Every structure is written in structure tokens, then in C-alpha cells.
Amino acid sequence: MTLTGTVAIVTGSGQGLGLAYARELAAQGASVVINDVSQETADAAVKQITDAGGTASAVVAPVGSTETAKALVDHAYETYGRLDSLVTNAGILRDRTLWKMTDEDFDAVINVHLRGTFTCVREAATRWREAGTQGHIVCIGSPTGQRGNFGQTNYAAAKSGIVGMVRTWALELKKAGITVNAVIPVAATAMTKTVPFFQKAVEADERGEAMPEFFRKELGFGTADDVAGTIAFLASDAANGITGQVVGVGGDRLQLWSHPEAVTTVYREGGWSYDDLASGFSDAVGELQSVGEKFPQLPDELAPEPRS
């Protein structure tokens, strides 16, 4: 199955991962609505797709508000006469440790990632339900939302919240035939370029060379294009039976993330008092859960070089 004749919206698709998603959707036959906050960036993305033989147009507006969500969905229907899939990718970073993060840092990230996902999905799903048509929603999460990451309180909250909404929407929209899934991408982006651990992989990608196998296989770390095929698949009718799932993809690796489940369950007659827990918590629950991403040791030849 291809996406020929379908229409897709991709938020935050002027560059980076979002542009890779939009290019792949267009290559599979979809007409794509590009979204960015910069007219110049959006126009360049549209030109890149149309020069390759695809169909695209743009809505320039910051994601977050109901007005932008409505403008995106209205544009799809007014320009192409339909909407079949929505990819909520738009996002920003305002990284700070907890004690340095301002209200503005927190609110800005929550507004774009979390509220922007909510408003766009609500608008698309409402239109589909009113028309009695099916649709596909793909929301973009992050390893940070799954595991946590130092300095990213706002981003972790938003990305974990997106996954929670996806699971809820999958239940609410199942009867309408609307699929809702989340994708956890692991790829070279503007953010990972600044992380020394990924230096050799990013440098290889920038030279147009294949990334070392260690990154692609052991870490599941690759290019934006490595993620794009999964986005197009979940946005197609080929994925009609898949909903409420969290799919990780990067490099040569594909993952299915579990829903949170209790790893240990113990009982005590009469319940658990403070004294019971103080004297026996560790014995009762066993090994505690790890926090954050755990990376394997880099081979010597892939170790980052000191930066001047």
C-alpha cells in the first residue's frame, strides 16, 4: 500500500526530522502540508518536495494554539479536499536544570510540544468524527520522555505526557477507526550534534558517509531518513490494525516500548506501615529501577576528540 491520493499534515516540518517525515510521506504519494514558524524555511521545504516531484504547501504559524490547529486542518481541506493523517512533530528546547528553569522556559516547551499536540489532534479527530471518516495520527515522543534526562524537566514532562495522551486517544478514537500511535526517534539532529558521545556518528553523516555500525546497531542511532519510513507506515492504511503503540526507531533498530507495568508486587497482611517500609522496603521490592539513558562504552576508535 502507498499513500497515493492521501493528504498529511506534519507540524514542525520545515527542517530536521519533520522535513524528513514530510519528504517520505510525499515520496509515498501524499500531498503534504508543511508547518514552520519561518516563511523562508517553510517555502524551502515546499520547494524541496515539489522539485522532487511531490505535492506540498505550507502554513506558517507557531503550533500550540487552537487557532493554528484549525488553520492547519482548514488548509488541508481547502487546498486538497481531505485530510488522512497528522504527524505532530513541532517542538522547541529550553534546557535548564530544575533550579535554573524559569516559568517561561517551562511554559514555552509545554505549549509547543504538549498543548500543540493536543490542539492539533483534537482538531483533526473532531473533523474526522463529524465526517465519519477514518484517519491516522502519529505523535512524536522522545527517549527523554520514556527515561528522563538531566536538564530537561519541561521536555521530559511534555514527551511523557504525549505518550499518555496517545494511549488515551487510542481508546477514545478506536470506534471511529482512527489510529493513534507514538514514535520515539533516535537520530542525528541539531540537539545530538552538541553531544560529544555522538560526535563520530554525526561527523560521518555530515560527510555523507554511513554511520559506524556501533551507532546504528548497538545504540539504534541513525539519520532522520531512518525514522521517516516508520512515520509513513503508521500514517498509512497498512497500519490500520495498529493503535495505542509506542514505537522506537533509529539506525538499524526497531523497538516496541512497553506500557508501564509493575515490576514487583508484594503483599502484607494489614497493609504497609511506616515502620514496615523503613525496615523492609528494599527486601520487599528488590532491585530499584534505573533512571535515564544508559549508554555502552564507546570503542576507542569512536571516542570523541577534544574540541577546541
- The residues carrying an active-site annotation are 155
C-alpha cell, 259: 506500557
| Neighbouring C-beta atoms of residue 266, cutoff 10 Å | 10
Tell me the H-state helices in the chain: 16-27, 39-51, 66-80, 103-109, 116-131, 143-147, 153-173, 199-206, 213, 224-234, 274-285
Q: Which run of H or of E encompasses 33?
A: strand 31-36
C-alpha cell, 154: 519541561
How far is it, in rounded angstroms, from Cα 172 to Cα 164?
Answer: 13
Question: DSSP characters for 252-295?
Answer: TEEEEEPPP--S-----TT---HHHHHHHHHHHH-SPPP-S--P
User: What's the full length of the chain, in residues?
Assistant: 308
